[in-house]
Amino acid sequence: MSPTIAVFSDLICPWCFVGTLRSDRALDLRARTSLEWLPVRLPGHTHISA
């Protein structure tokens, strides 16, 4: 059974995106690790207009 890492990431946050890319590259070295992506909304100045 492979270990699972829970990743909490905001889709709008550019730093979350950078972290996602870096973690993907790091985990490519360990093929037996799986990721579970979970959404989180970070407070901030992200406004969505309808």
Beta pairing, strands 4-9 & 34-39: parallel
Q: Say which residues have a Cβ less than 8 Å from residue 19's Cβ, sequence separation at least 6.
A: 9
H-only helix segments in the chain = 14-27
Q: What pLDDT is stored for residue 29 in this prediction?
A: 62
Q: What is the CA radius of gyration of the chain?
A: 13
The confidence score (pLDDT) of residue 49 equals 61
> What residues contact 41, with CB distance under 8 A and at least 6 apart?
10
**Full pLDDT tens readout for the chain, 50 residues:** 678 888 888 877 778 788 877 877 777 766 677 778 888 877 766 566 65
